[in-house]
Structure 1
Amino acid sequence: MQLPANHRQFESEVTPDRRDANRSSDRALGRVIACSGARATIAASASGAGPGTLDGCAIGRLLSINLGTSRIVGLVYEMRALESAWNEAGCNSIAVEVELLGEVVDGENGTARFDSGITSYPPIGAPAHRIRSRDLERIHDLGQRKGIVLGSLTQDAGVAASVDIERLLSRHFAVLGTTGVGKSSAVALMLRKAVAAKPNLRVLILDPHNEYAHAFPENSARIDASTLDLPFWLFRFEEFADIVFRGRSPLEDEAEILREVIAVARSRYRTVSPQDMARDLGSSVLKRPLEFGAARRPADASGSAELAAPYRLADLFAAIDELIGLHELRYPRTTLRALRVRLETLHGDPRYGFLFAHANSMETIAPVISQVFRVPHRGRPITVFQLAGLPSEVVNAVASSLARLAFDLAMASRGSYEILLLCEEAHRYVPQDQALGFAPTRQAIARIAKEGRKYGAYLGLVTQRPGELDPTILSQCSTVFAMRLGNDRDQEIIRAAIADASASTIAFLSSIGNREAIAFGEAVATTMRMRFLEQRPEELPAMAGRMPAQPEHREPLVEELVARMRGL
């Protein structure tokens, strides 16, 4: 393509990058031949035998359009040959479509700044160049904000990809991507950097695949079914009912009975003497009479089944037995006996030992707070809560109670502790369909998403199915790392969330590489395509239970496997 006679004037105002001797000093790509409010077309040329001037221009890359004292930054989103046939012997005219993102403006003192939006549009004939490295640095510079380096720009590995750690956490974040693209590895990197930058941060990971403990061997505590103590009396009524009735909605009589006997058991626990308590611990039935109100409600507000106050299972059984023995039945005996059998079965199942084993030796939730939220952390501020070993019937209730406790602890600490709740497979807890999932879990996580930042309770969502995630809660995540997503519905979610000025970025979302992400939102200076730092094998999450092969490793007997499955 023939360049205008004054092209030397434009080139003299742009100093070529000469980072190594092998790099060409000519950064010219072509000239602007069309411009609209948000986009421009650049005419370039390519020889038949090679890329010609296009070796520095590719889909997803940034380039600059020179205006003298400022340079407009454009994102390449489409390239096409202007002729239908390719000329092997000569030059071929190429149209490069770019989206205009902002301007790099040179200041009077020689420093440059990047401004989003366009104040001066490029005239026809303005030259386009490969963007300078220092302009890339300026575009993604956080300024005075405290940043952590998570990787480098895909376009230039010499430019760091930094995020504002305060805004990343306090305004919530999401990591989205299909299976196998490196989501868990990226999350492990972020958490490692976050706890290093914020000493008062506590991280609770809801880990459904038991994979994160491997990534934090020195600064995390692992909690699984064998080490967990989560007393049954800590759960709210809906949570405990979900455990008792194994995920199905209780019938009206069942719900009323359970609510009433829990309230009575709590009331009795507060009035029993220490001697009676010591004598009755371990007893299955209490003989002391109980008074039940005539109405179908808890005995009083202070004994409500909603409060996380201790009570004993023995009192619960006693309350049911006394309802069964009443002359004037308020509930069917079959329903009462069925509820008692359910509770006895639950209590006797070794898989639910974490609910009952030490429940009556705890007077408060202080031991739970200390274990789960690392107060004090003793050098291990991260808690990996392994959900895979828990019975599937209790996972929803456990997740709900932990999310609720995270918010309450952050609020009660008045800034002394900041709590990050990280939800892997987040679509399980807050699905788009309101009829799916567990309502108390959705409410607890939504409370963190909407109100948590005021008290230091933060949320991190990780999912491979953003299209199945509650859009209201996802919209509360002010920073998003979008990794490879091939599903059209998932891409539509990103298209709705990303800024209009960089909407073309998602055009290549389905083809970016592993460890790559498009980061956008409040924690980054501007939308960027980045590659996360490569980590050592010992820093990566690994599927729990898959131990390295050992020469003399004995295969477990079938009886041992069955015992593990039963929680023995």
Structure 2
Amino acid sequence: MQLAVKSGQFENELTSDRRDLGQDPERALGRVVSCDGSRATIASTVSGMTRLGPDSWAVGRMISINLGSSRIVGLVYEMHAVNPVWDEAADNIVHVQVEMLGEVTESPEGRVRFQSGITTYPPIGSIAHRIRTGDLALVHDLGSRNGVAVGTLTQDSSIPATISIDDMLARHFALLGTTGVGKSSAVALLLRRAIAARSRLRVLILDPHNEYAGAFPDRALSIDAEGLDLPFWMFRLEEFGEIVFRGRAAFEEEADILREVVATARERYRGASQRNPMRDLNSSLLKRPLDAGIARREDGMGSATDMPTPYRIVDALAIIDELIGLHEMRWPRAALRSLKVRLETLHSDPRYQFMFARANMMETMAPVLAQIFRVPHHGRPITVFQLGGLPSEVVDAVASVLARLAFDLAMASQGTYEILLLCEEAHRYVPADQSLGFLPTRQAIARIAKEGRKYGAYLGVVTQRPGELDPTILSQCSTIFAMRLANEHDQQIIRAAISDASASTLKFLSSVGNREAIAFGEGVATTMRMRFADLAPHELPAMDIAIGVEGRREPGLEEMVRRMRG
């Protein structure tokens, strides 16, 4: 195929197309030779001996096509030489494939604006340019929305990459990327920008690797297993059962016994049965499980009597003993004794002291909520909840409690407290496989994703394996920061979940650099390839692990064993 423009004529026309003679004559790159509804092909020539500069044709860069009264903005996603043999002594014709994103228009008064979509398509022969800096900034301008800079554009580092914090939070967001690409530092940056822009915002980070404790030294409270107070009575029956039975399927009899024992222990704590304990046993414990007043709540999040009211483990154990001593056996003694052993073992295990040690010193949820959700925050609106120090069998239940409380507190505050729940390694809590994970945790997080916006409860999802994340949760996140993803299945999941992401843009997911991301959705003006800003060394996650290892004292074996035992 031959390019029907002579070199001299082409150069004269490109020079006359410049807005002023001070512009670089090399800004013009080629001409449109084909066009369909969304893409165009541009033909250009490259001298065989030319040393290509950074502003030459490059995949991932934006260009503009001049139509006189407007300029079409396009994204280069593919390029190839027409002749497969490169000629060092002559000009070589190249074809560049461009996806058309929108157009820049100028009003008679001189107002310039960018709009997505194409109203006028380029005719054959239209001239393609390197995009003007002003046009590139205009493409990513948020307009009347408040914008916060979180980095710079990859194509032009002089242009800030801005996002709308309001839209990013209100409609939830996700940050996806493989290990080692800078997800954690990007999360830390976004959270710092969010709390600076929203004074009422509280952030709760579910941190499974204990890496955020040092990322917010001036703005966060870090809670580990030793400093945590989460009384066992705040767990709903399903959540408490997950801990009691250690994630294994319990015998149906034991689960039913636990249900009645907990309900009766709550009644006894309130004093309803203190005058006549045996009458209470006869009136409530001897009933059938389905007749014990356990009614399902309308929201599907537990039972009407399964509310977080205090009770004592000693009362629960006493009730089991009383059941064992009844002449008319309601339950097999083996099942009763097995449940009692489980509760006693749990209560005496030092790893679970966060649930039992100070549980009955608190008769309300207020001190727990004040600590976890920073009410008042005293200048530290972020809570880093270190799940890494908890027993593995309790993590899902704790995550369920925290997600549920986040939604309930936001709803009870009627929007005066805005709460962002950030889930690191989110595929652990809401996996794509419905048979995996813990159902109450999935329900609590899904409730925030679906209904939280109405009450000021927001969700942030961070994962390195979006293919293992429930696509329903991902589809609720309207702003996506996609960092490098090498796995093809993960890339397909994003394409399927995000309807407005262009296929050509997502082709770059396997090759973006560290701390780079492709951002799209409600929180940005248009699909944007960006690089997150640098953080100060003391603001980086995992700083306590990243430095200081050389000079640390090596702990003794006994000390490490004590840590392992909690």
TM-score of the superposed pair, with normalisation by structure 2: 0.93
Aligned length: 552
User: What amino acid sits opposite 1:476 in the alignment?
Assistant: Q
- In the TM superposition, residue 431 of structure 1 has moved relative to its aligned partner by 0.3
Q: Would you say 1:295 and 2:288 are equivalent positions?
A: yes
The secondary structure found in structure 1 opposite 2:189 is helix
Partner residue, 1:256: 256
Q: Cα 1:346–1:543, aligned 2, differ >3 Å: closer, same or farther?
A: farther
- In the TM superposition, residue 13 of structure 1 has moved relative to its aligned partner by 4.8
Q: Cα 1:498–1:16, aligned 2, differ >3 Å: closer, same or farther?
A: farther
- In the TM superposition, residue 86 of structure 1 has moved relative to its aligned partner by 0.5
Q: Would you say 1:555 and 2:546 are equivalent positions?
A: no
- In the TM superposition, residue 545 of structure 1 has moved relative to its aligned partner by 5.5
Alignment of 1:368-447 (within 5 A): 368-447=368-447
Q: Would you say 1:457 and 2:461 are equivalent positions?
A: no
Once residues 181 and 384 of structure 1 are traced to their aligned partners in structure 2, the CA distance between those partners, rounded to angstroms, is 22
- In the TM superposition, residue 149 of structure 1 has moved relative to its aligned partner by 0.4
Alignment of 1:512-531 (within 5 A): 512-531=512-531
Once residues 210 and 148 of structure 1 are traced to their aligned partners in structure 2, the CA distance between those partners, rounded to angstroms, is 28
- In the TM superposition, residue 497 of structure 1 has moved relative to its aligned partner by 3.6
Once residues 529 and 53 of structure 1 are traced to their aligned partners in structure 2, the CA distance between those partners, rounded to angstroms, is 20
- In the TM superposition, residue 249 of structure 1 has moved relative to its aligned partner by 2.0
Q: Cα 1:6–1:89, aligned 2, differ >3 Å: closer, same or farther?
A: closer
Partner residue, 1:281: none
**Stretches of structure 2 lacking an aligned partner (at least 5 in a row):** 296-302
More displaced 10-residue stretch of structure 1: 467-476 or 291-300? 291-300
More displaced 10-residue stretch of structure 1: 364-373 or 487-496? 487-496
- In the TM superposition, residue 468 of structure 1 has moved relative to its aligned partner by 0.5
- In the TM superposition, residue 55 of structure 1 has moved relative to its aligned partner by 4.0
More displaced 10-residue stretch of structure 1: 44-53 or 426-435? 44-53
- In the TM superposition, residue 251 of structure 1 has moved relative to its aligned partner by 1.6
User: What amino acid sits opposite 2:558 in the alignment?
Assistant: E
User: What amino acid sits opposite 2:559 in the alignment?
Assistant: E
Q: Would you say 1:541 and 2:541 are equivalent positions?
A: yes
Once residues 542 and 9 of structure 1 are traced to their aligned partners in structure 2, the CA distance between those partners, rounded to angstroms, is 57
- In the TM superposition, residue 534 of structure 1 has moved relative to its aligned partner by 1.3
User: What amino acid sits opposite 2:394 in the alignment?
Assistant: V
- In the TM superposition, residue 14 of structure 1 has moved relative to its aligned partner by 4.1
Once residues 546 and 238 of structure 1 are traced to their aligned partners in structure 2, the CA distance between those partners, rounded to angstroms, is 38
8 Å Cα contact 1:46-1:53 kept in structure 2:
no
Once residues 499 and 8 of structure 1 are traced to their aligned partners in structure 2, the CA distance between those partners, rounded to angstroms, is 43
The secondary structure found in structure 1 opposite 2:389 is coil
- In the TM superposition, residue 53 of structure 1 has moved relative to its aligned partner by 8.6
Once residues 544 and 210 of structure 1 are traced to their aligned partners in structure 2, the CA distance between those partners, rounded to angstroms, is 10
Partner residue, 2:509: 509
Partner residue, 2:339: 339
Once residues 278 and 548 of structure 2 are traced to their aligned partners in structure 1, the CA distance between those partners, rounded to angstroms, is 55
Alignment of 1:213-292 (within 5 A): 213-271=213-271, 290-291=281-282, 292=285
CA offset digits 1:432-459 (Å, max 9, x no partner) = 0000000000000000000000000000
Once residues 225 and 558 of structure 2 are traced to their aligned partners in structure 1, the CA distance between those partners, rounded to angstroms, is 20
Partner residue, 1:127: 127
Once residues 301 and 500 of structure 1 are traced to their aligned partners in structure 2, the CA distance between those partners, rounded to angstroms, is 45
Alignment of 1:78-117 (within 5 A): 78-117=78-117
Once residues 17 and 394 of structure 1 are traced to their aligned partners in structure 2, the CA distance between those partners, rounded to angstroms, is 70
More displaced 10-residue stretch of structure 1: 290-299 or 221-230? 290-299
TM-score of the superposed pair, with normalisation by structure 1: 0.93
* Superposition misfits of 4+ residues, deviation over 6 angstroms: 286-289
The secondary structure found in structure 2 opposite 1:26 is helix
Q: Cα 1:154–1:486, aligned 2, differ >3 Å: closer, same or farther?
A: same
- In the TM superposition, residue 118 of structure 1 has moved relative to its aligned partner by 0.6
More displaced 10-residue stretch of structure 1: 296-305 or 69-78? 296-305
User: What amino acid sits opposite 1:560 in the alignment?
Assistant: E
- In the TM superposition, residue 287 of structure 1 has moved relative to its aligned partner by 9.5
- In the TM superposition, residue 502 of structure 1 has moved relative to its aligned partner by 2.5
The secondary structure found in structure 1 opposite 2:281 is coil
User: What amino acid sits opposite 1:561 in the alignment?
Assistant: M
The secondary structure found in structure 2 opposite 1:415 is coil
- In the TM superposition, residue 24 of structure 1 has moved relative to its aligned partner by 3.6
User: What amino acid sits opposite 1:360 in the alignment?
Assistant: N
More displaced 10-residue stretch of structure 1: 189-198 or 538-547? 538-547
Q: Cα 1:9–1:402, aligned 2, differ >3 Å: closer, same or farther?
A: same
- In the TM superposition, residue 181 of structure 1 has moved relative to its aligned partner by 0.3
8 Å Cα contact 2:147-2:162 kept in structure 1:
yes
The secondary structure found in structure 2 opposite 1:101 is strand
- In the TM superposition, residue 305 of structure 1 has moved relative to its aligned partner by 5.3
Partner residue, 1:64: 64
CA offset digits 1:88-122 (Å, max 9, x no partner) = 11110000010111101112221211111111000
8 Å Cα contact 2:18-2:25 kept in structure 1:
no
Once residues 77 and 500 of structure 2 are traced to their aligned partners in structure 1, the CA distance between those partners, rounded to angstroms, is 14
- In the TM superposition, residue 300 of structure 1 has moved relative to its aligned partner by 4.0
Alignment of 1:306-345 (within 5 A): 306-345=306-345
Partner residue, 1:150: 150
Q: Cα 1:63–1:332, aligned 2, differ >3 Å: closer, same or farther?
A: same
Q: Cα 1:427–1:225, aligned 2, differ >3 Å: closer, same or farther?
A: same
Once residues 225 and 549 of structure 2 are traced to their aligned partners in structure 1, the CA distance between those partners, rounded to angstroms, is 25
The secondary structure found in structure 1 opposite 2:486 is coil
Once residues 449 and 419 of structure 1 are traced to their aligned partners in structure 2, the CA distance between those partners, rounded to angstroms, is 12
Decide which of 11, 15, 21 is 2:19's aligned counterpart.
15
The secondary structure found in structure 2 opposite 1:73 is strand
Partner residue, 2:299: none
User: What amino acid sits opposite 1:171 in the alignment?
Assistant: R
**Cα RMSD after superposing both structures:** 2.2
Alignment of 1:472-511 (within 5 A): 472-500=472-500, 502-511=502-511
8 Å Cα contact 1:178-1:465 kept in structure 2:
yes
Once residues 21 and 350 of structure 2 are traced to their aligned partners in structure 1, the CA distance between those partners, rounded to angstroms, is 68
The secondary structure found in structure 1 opposite 2:270 is helix
Partner residue, 1:207: 207
Once residues 436 and 308 of structure 2 are traced to their aligned partners in structure 1, the CA distance between those partners, rounded to angstroms, is 26
CA offset digits 1:475-527 (Å, max 9, x no partner) = 00000000000001011112224455722011121011000000000110000
User: What amino acid sits opposite 2:386 in the alignment?
Assistant: Q
Partner residue, 1:566: 565
8 Å Cα contact 1:208-1:424 kept in structure 2:
yes
Partner residue, 1:282: none
- In the TM superposition, residue 271 of structure 1 has moved relative to its aligned partner by 1.3
8 Å Cα contact 1:263-1:304 kept in structure 2:
no
- In the TM superposition, residue 549 of structure 1 has moved relative to its aligned partner by 3.5
8 Å Cα contact 1:433-1:470 kept in structure 2:
yes
Once residues 459 and 267 of structure 1 are traced to their aligned partners in structure 2, the CA distance between those partners, rounded to angstroms, is 36
User: What amino acid sits opposite 1:415 in the alignment?
Assistant: G
Q: Cα 1:550–1:90, aligned 2, differ >3 Å: closer, same or farther?
A: closer
- In the TM superposition, residue 544 of structure 1 has moved relative to its aligned partner by 5.4
Once residues 136 and 547 of structure 2 are traced to their aligned partners in structure 1, the CA distance between those partners, rounded to angstroms, is 44
8 Å Cα contact 1:263-1:298 kept in structure 2:
no
- In the TM superposition, residue 56 of structure 1 has moved relative to its aligned partner by 2.6
